[in-house]
Amino acid sequence: MEKNSVKNKIEPLDRQRIARVALGLIDAHGIDQLSMRKLGGELGVEAMALYHHFRNKAELLDGILDIVLEDVDAALTPDGTPLERMRRTFDALREIAISHPHAYLSMVSRRFRTPTALKFYEQLLGLFHEAGLSAEQSARYYRMMANFTAGAGLAEVGSRAKQPDATPIVLEDFNRPDEFPHITAAMPYLRVSEIDGIYHAGMDILFAALMVEQTQR
């Protein structure tokens, strides 16, 4: 009886558990299918119980961003120079698009405003400071790298057709030179197999420019 009572005990609700189950639903069905009612059903509670932890869906999405950033932070290693750690951080942020493509589309539009997100932001900007950059330089390079990484993530989602309403990829074997000569010529270098190399080549350029500026200080 004691074992059964422990087994059947309902796990208490908290923000992290709710957000992680919500992320699982988004991964499986897409963000448009997420609702408090469906999330409550998955957790075995009434939807109203969730509002004690998240006042609305927007706040829930902030909570989902928090747990994803916590996962990214937990996977990062503290070894290496500030620039090496910075590069790993941006690479890990781009990986979110691969591991959570449906959720990524909403994450890139959310501001860092929760304590967890702001702590992550502070640590990342701290790496620029450790590398010897001024606040102005840090802001400029952070924005360039963040924009490039976010765009690369969106390219991952779009090119790999991971949206819930995606149609099969038709550009992989695109060959209509008479009508679209430039697309046809460029397509071999824009295929899904090339995405990873293009991303890293772009980041190499940004970090090379940053290192030049770093040495000129």
Model's pTM, two decimal places?
Answer: 0.85
> By the 8 A CB rule, do 67 and 15 touch?
no
Look at residue 167 in the predicted model and tell me its pLDDT. 56
* 9-215: CATH architecture: Orthogonal Bundle (1.10)
- Please tell me whether residue 167 adopts helix, strand or coil conformation: coil
> What confidence category does residue 215 fall into, taking pLDDT thresholds of 50, 70 and 90?
confident
CA dihedral 166, 169, 170, 173 (to 10 degrees): 170
HSE, side-chain direction, 13 A CA sphere, residue 96: 29
Per-residue model confidence as pLDDT tens digits over 154-201: 988 877 655 555 555 566 788 999 999 999 999 999 888 898 999 999
151 alpha carbon, distance to own chain's centre = 11
CA angle 85, 89, 94 (to 5 degrees): 150
Gap between the Cα atoms of 116 and 42, Å rounded? 25
Confidence of residue 129 (pLDDT cuts 50, 70, 90): very high
Q: How much of the chain, in percent, has pLDDT values that exceed 90? A: 71
In this prediction, residue 116 has a pLDDT band, given cuts at 50, 70 and 90, of very high
Domain range summary for the chain, segments of one domain joined by +: 9-215
Lowest mean pLDDT among 77-86, 111-120, 163-172: 163-172
Distance of CA 112 to the CA centre of its chain: 13
pLDDT at 7: 40
* pLDDT tens sequence across 140-151: 999 999 999 999
